[in-house]
Amino acid sequence: MYLPKFDYHRPRSLPEALMMLAKLGNKCKVVAGGTDLMVAMKQRRATPPHLMDLTHIDQLTKIEQTKSGRLKIGTLATLAQVAASSLVQSFSPALAQAAWEAGSPLLRNRGTVGGNILQETRCRYYNQSAGWRKGKDTCLKMDGKVCHINPNGTSCLSTYAGDLAPVLLAEGTTVKIATLRQVEEVPLASLFTGNGLTPVQLKPQALITAIYISPVENGQEKGGIYRKLRSRPSIDFPLVGLAMVWESTLLAGQKTNQIRVAVTGVSSQPHLATGTGAALSGTLPDDGKLAQIQDILRNEVKVIDTGSCPAWYRKEMLGQLLAEAVDKLKSNPIGQGGSMHE
């Protein structure tokens, strides 16, 4: 499968990249690891006239602690680097785990943080070659008129399946976005639209440069876990993925937790399950209460069937993943997000 033709640009620095983007605008797509975009281009789902290769901008690959003590991960840090970083592990064990769970070793060596966050949503009728898609009417995501998942519907139901995003949402991650004119820092959550057609809102002239995770506050202990339900032990996207992050404080002799839960692989955006997180926060739930909270999770999350694993099963499993996350919190609250081999 040959890639379509395009003009190639290789900026050496961030300002150079932003200048090119300002000029080319939406005629240009950026490529880093290529694990999402290259496949899309081979399948003619994306045919940008210009392609900007970010892989030679070294300053964007760094994983470091800022002066104010925050974790800063450059957008071009690879998933392999994030998974192996002891700094990431200390700030967010769930993030290190999610990075390790993504894809396969080969994909993790190329896939970047930015690319993983910004990946296109997926659907069994969309992620197909051009020749395959010829046999069916053009779908909404390809500027056509019909959704093959729900032929009576008018909105695109493609699913967001990135592994990092749920952890990052649960961590309250912020994102630095740069254009030639300005740099701003926004909550990661604000980027996701929930719209399968354009799942992420980012101006064509803008680049994510880094993500930030705040350190744990004094007197708090932090932990987290990412549980990925998958068909096979590698390569695969999550059937569903659940991230849970907790900060524990000792309050009048009792341990109290602030818990945030987020999921991926369910609908057109990664979803912060605020009701579930609130219900879990405070003191740890017993089994009876946990069953209720599992229902809260299943009710506040919409699970759409865009792959080949039925939605009822994935919805059921969300509750199971939550139970396992709670188990982890109970048994090993601090530090380790769980063995890499779970």
Tell me the window of 138-146, 172-180, 233-241, 282-290 that interacts with another protein (CB under 8 A).
Answer: 233-241
Joined together, the tokens standing for residue 176 give 């630095």
* Residue 110 is a binding residue for another protein (CB under 8 A): yes
* Residue 20 is a binding residue for another protein (CB under 8 A): no
* Residue 136 is a binding residue for another protein (CB under 8 A): yes
Residue from the set 68, 86, 151, 233 that interacts with another protein by CB under 8 A: 233
* Residue 151 is a binding residue for another protein (CB under 8 A): no
E-assigned strand segments in 271-324 = 271-272
CA-nearest of 327, 304, 321 to 150 is 304
* Residue 308 is a binding residue for another protein (CB under 8 A): yes
* Residue 279 is a binding residue for another protein (CB under 8 A): no
* Residue 59 is a binding residue for another protein (CB under 8 A): no
Q: What is the Cα–Cα distance from 259 to 224, expressed in whole angstroms? A: 9
* Residue 313 is a binding residue for another protein (CB under 8 A): yes
**How many Cα atoms are found within 13 Å in the side-chain-facing hemisphere of 287?**
0
Is the Cβ–Cβ distance between 149 and 157 less than 8 Å? yes
* Residue 150 is a binding residue for another protein (CB under 8 A): no
Tell me the window of 6-14, 16-24, 191-199, 267-275 that interacts with another protein (CB under 8 A).
Answer: 6-14
What SS3 state is found at 237? coil
Q: What are phi and psi of 277, to 5 degrees?
A: -60, -45
* Residue 145 is a binding residue for another protein (CB under 8 A): no
Letter for the amino acid at 57?
A: I
Residue from the set 11, 17, 21, 35 that interacts with another protein by CB under 8 A: 35
* Residue 8 is a binding residue for another protein (CB under 8 A): yes
* Residue 291 is a binding residue for another protein (CB under 8 A): no
Number of residues that bind another protein (CB under 8 A): 53
Angle subtended at Cα 338 by Cα 341 and Cα 77, rounded to the nearest 5 degrees: 80
* Residue 298 is a binding residue for another protein (CB under 8 A): no
Length of the chain: 342
* Residue 42 is a binding residue for another protein (CB under 8 A): yes
Residues 6 or more apart whose Cβ sits within 8 Å of residue 125: 133, 136, 139, 148, 149
* Residue 229 is a binding residue for another protein (CB under 8 A): yes
- Three-state SS for 152-198 is CCCCCCCECCCCHHHHHHHCCCEEEEECCCCEEEEEHHHHECCCCCC
Residue from the set 46, 70, 90, 104 that interacts with another protein by CB under 8 A: 104
CA-nearest of 249, 212, 104, 86 to 163 is 104
Strand partners, 242: 227, 263
CA distances to 27, 47, 120 from 7, rounded to whole Å, are: 10, 11, 22
Minimum Å gap between C-beta 108 and another protein is 8
* Residue 39 is a binding residue for another protein (CB under 8 A): yes
Minimum Å gap between C-beta 299 and another protein is 19
The residue ranges that bind another protein (CB under 8 A) are 1-8, 10, 31, 33-35, 38-39, 42, 51, 53, 55-56, 80, 103-107, 109-110, 124, 129, 131-132, 134-136, 229, 231-237, 307-310, 312-313, 316-317, 320, 341
